[in-house]
Amino acid sequence: MPFRQLRDDIKAIRVRDPAAHSLLQVVLTYPGFHALVLHRVAHFLWRNHLKLIAHVVAYISRILTGIEIHPAVKIGRRFFIDHGTGVVIGETAEIGDDVTLYQAVTLGGLSSNAEKRHPTLKNGAIVGAGAQILGPITVGEYARVGANAVVLIDVPDNTTAVGVPARLVQKMPSIPLNQDCQAFMAYGADGMRDDDPTAKAIEILCTEMKALKKRVAELEMTDETAVSRPKIVVSNGGGI
């Protein structure tokens, strides 16, 4: 495992997590880093046809870190699993550079066939805590997946997906991460605050309901005025 790759992994963690105060702290106490290092060992063994030993390394990693990564998974540079507990990444998943996952994320498969059945996460994707990304779908570059979302469809580049099942709620401007991760936003929260179509629909309905209530009140006031107004009887002035 190249030293430079390890150095980049540690640097990415320090940039994305303000709680990481030193290189030594990351090396000694970050389960996401431990899981990544052990996975790179397991993946090397897997590619060299030592699959049983690779599985043993992955199993030890799961025991030590609470993070399960199949040894066949392809992972790019500067990958960060924050907190980490409960993360599961299936066999045919592919992860690009500068990707961030939070705790309890699942990159799972929906098929039992020996085929591409797990997600592909492209460069710079951020996946919030508890999200489930299922099937051979693609989460595009710099896309965001909200916490606890269940994603069953492709997420285009620079787009946010939220909800169960997930829907696409925002197209963000393309701001690629550099190697210092300057455009990083924890939990991908920059793309989850606005442009939620459900929230907008509810807001429109509430506005229309207020307008209707106001109109009904005006009509009731008009009717009450008409009822309370004294009637004027017009006599024709006829005699006997």
How many CA atoms lie less than 13 Å away from 203 in the CB half-sphere?
Answer: 7
Q: Which residues of the chain carry a pLDDT beneath 70?
A: 1-2, 171-201, 223-240
Tell me the C-alpha distance between 104 and 113, whole Å: 25
Q: Are 107 and 126 in contact (CB under 8 A)?
A: no
What is the residue-wise DSSP string for 135-167? Answer: SS-EE-TT-EE-TT-EE-S-B-TTEEEETTTTE
**pLDDT at position 179:** 47
**pLDDT at position 70:** 97
**pLDDT at position 144:** 94
pLDDT digits (tens, 9 = 90+) for 67-82: 999 999 999 999 999 9
Q: What angle do CA 190, 25, 176 make, to 5 degrees?
A: 30
**pLDDT at position 118:** 97
Of the candidates 96, 122, 92, 95, the one whose C-alpha atom is nearest the C-alpha of residue 109 is: 92
DSSP structure class, residue 124: T
**pLDDT at position 193:** 54
Sheet holding 80-81, edge to edge: 80-81, 100-101, 126-127, 144-145, 159-162, 167-171
Residue 147 corresponds to which amino acid? A
**pLDDT at position 236:** 59
* Radius of gyration, alpha carbons of the chain: 29
pLDDT digits (tens, 9 = 90+) for 198-229: 666 677 888 888 888 888 888 878 766 666 66
